[in-house]
Amino acid sequence: MVQAVVGANWGDEGKGKITDMLAENADIIVRFQGGANAGHTIVNNYGKFALHTLPSGVFYDHTTSIIGNGVALNIPVLFKEIKSITDKNVPMPKILVSDRAQMVMPYHILFDQYEEERLAGKSFGSTKSGIAPFYSDKYAKIGFQVSELFDEVALREKIERVIVQKNILLEHLYHKPLIDADETFNTLMEYKKMVEPYVCDVSAFLWNAIKEGKNILLEGQLGSLKDPDHGIYPMVTSSSTLAAYGAIGAGIPPYEIKKIVTVVKAYSSAVGAGAFVSEIFGDEADELRRRGGDGGEFGATTGRPRRMGWFDCVATKYGCRIQGTTDVAFTVLDVLGYLDEIPVCVGYEIDGEVTTDFPTTTKLEKAKPVLKTLPGWKEDIRGIKEYDKLPENCRKYIEFIEEQIGFPITMVSNGPKREDIIIRNK
Ligand code: GDP
C-alpha cells in the first residue's frame, strides 16, 4: 500500500514527525520533490535531528530510504546528513538514489545567491539552496541527471555547452567570477564517487515493491500553499508539493496512492514573503513563536524566525482539498494550552464580501481575516493518549476545525515525540 504524507499549509506542519511515526510500519520511504531547502525536525530515541534531504524514515533499520527522481539532489548535503546521523549512533540507513534524479550543481547555489542580491528588497525570500535555478534548468533541459555521471565523455561535452550561457549571465548580469568547465567536471566526479553505490532504477524497484505488497510512504516537503500551480504563486517553491506529484516524483502509478495523510498545524506559521491572511504581530506573535513547535518556530534549515498566525480554516480547507486528503493529522495542539481564548480565521473579507473559498494571489493580497474566538483549555495536554481524555474545550477546538475544513481529523499530535499521538477512530 502506498500512502503520502503531505502538508496542507505553508510547510512546517510537522510532516517529519508524522512520517517518522508512520515509518514504523513502512518498508520504504520516498522523498519525491524539493531539495535541501526546507527541513524536517525529528525527535526520537537517538536525539533531535534536522533532516533536509533524507526521508524521515531513516531512523529505523527495517526501512529503505529513497531519493526519488523528482528531488533536487544536493549530493554533498546528502552525505553530510548521512554522517550527521551515523555520528549520533543511528545505524547506517539503506539508501537508494534514483538514476533519474537531477543534481544541484555548485553554480545553482551561486545563482540563487546572486539573484537574491540583485533583487535586494524585492527578493522572494529564497533559502539560497539553488532550488529555483535547479528546477529552471531541469525544465530548460540543461539539468544533469545522476545517470549522466556515468558517461564521462558526454558529460564533459555537456558541461562545456551549458556553461556558455551561464557565463554570459555571470559576466554581464551579475558581474561575478565565471564557471570553469574542468572544475565543474572534477566536482561531478567527486559526486559520482559518493553516490555510485546507491544509484538505482527507483521506479522499477518500487514497481516490484508494490507487487510484493510492501508498505511505501511518500514524504512531501512544504505544503499545498507553496505549490507552484495551486499555491500563492509566485511566493511558492519550484516543485509540486502535492501528493499527486508523488506518482511522478517517485515513478509509481497514480492509482496506487491509496491514503493521503495531510498534516495540518493547530495554528499557522509561514516562512518567506507572500500574503498570510491570519498573520499576527508583536508580543502575541512573539509568544506563539517562542512556545511553538519544539523549542520555538524557527526554520530548520535557515534558523529564520517564522511568521506566525492563527489557524486559517479557509487556507486549510483548500490546502486539504487540493491534496486529495483522506486523513488529517492535526499537530502541535499542545502548544495552544497557554491561551485563554483562541482566535480562528473562518473567512476572508475581500472587497467587502466574505468568502470561505481560497482565492488566487491577486485577490488574496486584499483579504482580511474574519475571526471567531474559541475558548482555550488552559491545560498541558501532553501525555494524553485517548481522545476522550482531552479537555472538553480542546475537543471542541478540534471538532470545530474539522467541521470547517471538511476532512476527518484521524490523528492528533500532542507533543514532538513519536509516542505523542492520539489516534482517533472515525
Ligand atoms: P515539517 O517540515 O512539516 O516536518 O515540520 P518542522 O519539522 O519544520 O516543524 C515541526 C516542528 O514541530 C518540529 O520542531 C517538531 O519537532 C515539532 N512538532 C511536531 N509535532 C509536534 C507536536 O505535536 N507538538 C509539539 N509541541 N511540537 C511538535
- Let me know: does 3 contact 260? Beta carbons within 8 Å: yes
CA of 293 to the centre of ligand 1 (A): 5
Q: Which helix (H) or strand (E) holds 369?
A: strand 368-375
2-86+204-423 in CATH: which number? 3.90.170.10
Higher pLDDT, 378 or 273: 378
For the chain, what are the domain ranges?
A: 2-86+204-423, 102-197
In angstroms, what CA-CA distances link 387 with 89, 238, 384, 414? 35, 38, 8, 11
Gyration radius from the chain CA atoms: 22
Quick: pLDDT tens for 324-352.
999 999 999 999 999 999 999 999 999 99
C-alpha cell at 371: 475571526
**Nearest residue to 420 (alpha-carbon basis) of 337, 331, 289:** 331
Among 68-72, 121-125, 250-254, 272-276, which stretch is predicted with the lowest mean pLDDT? Answer: 121-125
- The CATH T-level fold of domain 102-197 is Adenylosuccinate Synthetase, subunit A; domain 2 (1.10.300)
Q: How many percent of the chain have pLDDT more than 70? A: 97
- Mutate which of 41, 54, 225, 380 for ligand 1 pocket (most atoms within 8 A of beta carbon): 41
What's the pTM?
A: 0.94
For the annotated catalytic residues, the residue numbers are 12, 40
Which residues have CB under 6 Å of ligand 1?
7, 11-17, 38, 40-41, 43, 293-294, 300, 331-332, 334-335, 413-416, 420
- Mutate which of 294, 334, 413 for ligand 1 pocket (most atoms within 8 A of beta carbon): 294
The three-class DSSP label of residue 214 is coil
Quick: pLDDT tens for 21-49.
999 999 999 999 999 877 777 788 888 88
